[in-house]
A and B are shown apart, each in its own frame.
Chain A
Amino acid sequence: EIVMTQSPATLSVSPGERATLSCRASQSVSSNLAWYQQKPGQAPRLLIYGASTRATGIPARFSGSGSGTEFTLTISSLQSEDFAVYYCHQYNNWPRTFGQGTKVEIK
């Protein structure tokens, strides 16, 4: 099983600032990596797939990069609606696995 490790567990950021979230895979997942946003009481929402492609309707301030074992999600200028938990997800191997999440909170 591929273990996905996200860091940091919590990120405190002021509105308007840049946020950088990391995700590391225990073995290569190529570019088969997605990012999701989840707000309290809501289902996850797909942000990024293929490591760097924004899903439909996702604002340009969200960007993804990386391949192999190291991935990054960047939110260029945090808006109030971006404070949430973010999960990475590898779909290169079975079983599919998620990272444990990074909570982005207001500083």
Chain B
Amino acid sequence: EVQLVESGGGLVQPGGSLRLSCAASGFTFSTYSMNWVRQAPGKGLEWLSYISRSSSTIYYADSVKGRFTISRDSAKNSLYLQMNSLRAEDTAVYYCARTTVTPGVDAFDIWGQGTMVTVSS
């Protein structure tokens, strides 16, 4: 079964750090580019970051640039999001999402179940 499973969420104080992980299974992880998307409570979806198959191309949303770092380890079939200088407005469910393998179609065809991050003192 094709699956993405996020972990690492939790309660953190403002200014703190957290590292999210996304474990991929059921497909050849190294052949797909990946993304992080978040959803604040009761709100819509916000794309955060993209990493290409080889990690050679990385993009960030302005809201997290300079604070968050995306990375991947194909040997471990895992995607990561290092989150520093966390703010209350970073409180959200964080999803990892796979980009389709079809050239030019950068829709997100597989999503994890999400992990909740709460930033509060």
Contacts and interface: CB of A to CB of B under 8 A. Distances in A.
Contacts of B109: 46, 49, 55-56
B27 interface: no
Interface string A42-76: 11111001100001100000000000000000000
Contacts of B44: 87, 98-101
Interface in A1-53: 1, 32, 34, 36, 38, 42-46, 49-50
A43 B46 contact: no
Interface residues of A, number: 25
B14 interface: no
Contacts of B50: 94, 96
Contacts of A44: 45, 95, 108, 111
20 contacts: A1-B62, A32-B105, A34-B107, A43-B111, A43-B113, A44-B45, A44-B111, A46-B108, A49-B107, A56-B109, A89-B108, A91-B105, A91-B106, A94-B50, A96-B35, A96-B47, A96-B50, A97-B47, A98-B45, A100-B44
